Amino acid sequence: MTGTIVNTCTILAGSALGSIFKKGIRKEQQDALYTAMGLAATGLGINAVVQNMPDSRYPVLFIVSLALGSLIGTFLDIDGRFQKLTERFSAGQLSKGLSTGILLFCIGTLSILGPIQSALYGDHTYLFTNATLDFVTSMVLASTYGIGMALAAAVLFCWQGAIYVIALNLGNFMTADMMTELSVVGGFLIASSGLSILNIKDCRTMNMLPSLAVPILFCWASGFFS
């Protein structure tokens, strides 16, 4: 749980700093921070793909996963529902900030894969990187919506904690091959998020989230035939 605790604390720290310097962060400074975070996310995603793809036993699985997952996500309109959910709470300023922050902190590849890596391998790299991203994001949000953004930290802790516990209890189910394939697909989604942050291409990464389920189901099913 070390990575999750660090991630939670960075949101608390970012919210506190942002509220202190409320409205003190100029637009160009926000843009500079987001550019740095976008480059970091893109680099981390590419690194995950490069590191794991040579170990993949199913070289085209990531293509099928991305294609099928994107079709499912687009059909379900996950990205559109995300936007509508955010707008639903737009009446209150803090509610708007919290709804946006919680979804940004929790519904992301790093926040999903991070606790799994931490539980199975004791590797906190994804969570520490996510913590850095969330620190900047929470600071920017709190500079607009105030210290109330710290409430998002509790939601993140419960979310990542639940994933961590599930991963620990299903450790035998999650094989090395499954984690390799999951890391390849996750790497593409992380890079996709970075491109969106950089405003290079709006990849609608949230619509691609079902892609993460494809390698899990494939590796689970293939286990019956091995």
User: Where along the chain do its domains lie?
Assistant: 2-225
Report how far residue 34's alpha carbon sits from residue 41's, in angstroms, rounded to the nearest whole number. 10
The answer to whether the pTM exceeds 0.85 is no
Report how far residue 112's alpha carbon sits from residue 109's, in angstroms, rounded to the nearest whole number. 5
CB 132 within 8 A of CB 21: no
- Write out pLDDT tens, residues 95-125: 666 766 776 787 667 887 889 888 888 889 8
- pLDDT at residue 144, rounded to an integer: 73
Structure-derived torsion over alpha carbons of residues 125, 131, 134, 136, reported in degrees to the nearest 10? -100
Question: Who has greater pLDDT, 95 or 217?
Answer: 217
- Write out pLDDT tens, residues 42-53: 888 898 889 889
- Write out pLDDT tens, residues 71-95: 999 999 988 887 676 666 555 566 6
- In eight-state DSSP terms, residue 92 is S
Which sign, positive or negative, has the C-alpha torsion 132, 134, 137, 143?
A: negative
- Please check the confidence at residue 63 and state whether its pLDDT lies above 90: yes
Angle in degrees, CA 11, 127, 56, rounded to 5: 155
CB 117 within 8 A of CB 125: yes
Helices (H) and strands (E) in the chain, counts: 10, 0
- Write out pLDDT tens, residues 126-178: 899 899 989 988 887 787 777 888 888 998 999 899 989 988 887 667 777 88
